[in-house]
C-alpha cells in the first residue's frame, strides 16, 4: 500500500526542517550545546539540529509550544522529549488518553500520540529560551506548511504567549479574521475560529511555571478538557 501524499509531504517537510541553517545565532548555539553537553548527558550524542514536529497526522489537536530546550529536544531530537517540561506535558496527555505513556526520554522510547500533534514556531534551541523576532519570522514558513498538512485540526492549543501569537499570525495569513487589536494572551483564553475550529491558550509547561505553581496539573488538565470537549462536539 502506498503512503498518502500528505504523509509523504509531512515527512519531506520534517527532513527539510532538520537541515535548516537559516539563523546563524541559533545554528551556532544549538551546535555549541551539542558539543559541550551537560555533564549528566556527557556520554550521549546530542541531536544538535532543528527539531520537527511529531505526532498523529490525523490529529484534531495541535499543541504549539515555543522552541526546543537546549538539553531536552536539542539533545533527543523530539519536541518536549527528555526534560521536565516534557515530563509535565506527556503525563497530562497520558491522563487524557492522547499519549501512549506518561514519560518520554528518547525518540526511540515507544511513545506515540493519538489525536494530537506537537510543534513549535521556533525549531532550534535559542539562548535563554528567547528566539529573536527575526528568527521567528525566518522559521514561520515551517509552521505554516506543517499546519497545512494537518487538515483534521479542530483545536490549536498554544503554550505561552509566543506560541499564541504565532498561531494567530498563521491563521490570519490563511484568511482568519481577528478583531483589532488582536486578542491578548491569557491562560484559558478561548477564541472561536471559522470552520468550527478553536484557539486555546495555556501558560507554557516550563519549569518556571510548573515549579512555582503558576501552572498546576489540574489547570492544564482543565485546558485539555476544554479541547477534548470541543473536538467531541464536532466529529
Q: How confident is the model at residue 6 (pLDDT cuts 50, 70, 90)?
A: confident
Q: Average model confidence (pLDDT) for the chain?
A: 96
Q: How confident is the model at residue 119 (pLDDT cuts 50, 70, 90)?
A: very high
CA atoms within 13 A on the CB side of 88: 21
Instruction: Report yes or no: 13 and 53 within 8 Å, Cβ to Cβ.
Output: no
Torsion sign across C-alpha atoms 48, 53, 57, 61 = positive
> What's the CATH code, domain 5-232?
3.40.470.10
pTM of the predicted model as reported, rounded to 2 decimal places: 0.96
Instruction: Report yes or no: 74 and 30 within 8 Å, Cβ to Cβ.
Output: yes
Q: Given a cut of 50, is residue 8 above it in pLDDT?
A: yes
Residue 5 has a pLDDT of 61
pLDDT tens-digit readout, 190-224: 999 999 999 999 999 999 999 999 999 999 999 99
Mean pLDDT (whole number) for 21-25? 98
Q: How confident is the model at residue 1 (pLDDT cuts 50, 70, 90)?
A: very low
Domain residue limits, the chain: 5-232
Mean pLDDT (whole number) for 95-100? 98
7-16 contacts at long range (C-beta below 8 A, 24 or more positions apart): 7/57, 9/149, 10/57, 10/146, 10/149, 10/150, 13/52, 13/142, 13/145, 13/146, 13/149, 14/52, 14/53, 16/142
Torsion sign across C-alpha atoms 48, 42, 101, 232 = negative
Residue bearing cell 485539555: 224
Torsion sign across C-alpha atoms 99, 102, 107, 108 = negative
pLDDT tens-digit readout, 149-164: 999 999 999 999 999 9
Residue 175 has a pLDDT of 92
Mean pLDDT (whole number) for 28-44? 97
Amino acid at each position: 500500500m502506498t503512503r498518502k501524499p500528505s504523509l509523504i509531504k509531512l515527512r519531506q517537510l520534517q527532513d527539510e526542517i532538520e537541515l535548516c541553517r537559516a539563523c546563524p545565532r541559533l545554528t551556532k548555539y544549538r551546535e555549541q550545546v551539542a558539543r559541550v553537553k551537560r555533564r549528566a548527558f556527557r556520554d550521549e550524542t546530542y541531536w544538535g539540529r532543528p527539531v520537527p514536529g511529531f505526532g498523529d497526522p490525523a490529529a484534531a489537536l495541535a499543541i504549539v509550544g515555543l522552541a526546543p530546550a537546549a538539553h531536552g529536544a536539542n539533545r533527543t531530537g523530539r519536541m518536549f522529549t527528555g526534560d521536565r517540561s516534557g515530563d509535565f506535558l506527556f503525563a497530562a496527555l497520558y491522563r487524557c488518553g492522547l499519549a501512549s505513556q506518561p514519560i518520554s526520554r528518547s525518540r526511540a522510547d515507544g511513545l506515540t500520540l493519538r489525536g494530537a500533534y506537537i510543534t513549535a514556531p521556533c525549531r532550534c534551541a535559542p539562548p535563554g529560551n528567547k528566539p529573536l523576532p527575526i528568527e521567528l519570522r525566518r522559521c514561520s514558513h515551517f509552521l505554516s506548511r506543517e499546519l497545512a498538512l494537518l487538515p483534521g485540526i479542530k483545536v490549536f492549543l498554544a503554550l505561552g504567549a509566543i506560541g499564541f501569537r504565532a498561531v494567530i499570525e498563521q491563521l490570519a495569513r490563511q484568511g482568519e479574521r481577528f478583531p483589532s487589536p488582536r486578542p491578548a494572551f491569557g491562560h484559558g483564553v478561548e477564541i472561536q475560529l471559522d470552520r468550527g475550529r478553536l484557539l486555546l491558550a495555556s501558560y507554557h509547561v516550563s519549569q518556571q511555571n510548573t515549579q512555582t505553581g503558576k501552572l498546576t496539573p489540574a489547570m492544564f488538565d482543565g485546558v485539555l478538557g476544554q479541547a477534548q470537549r470541543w473536538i467531541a462536539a464536532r466529529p
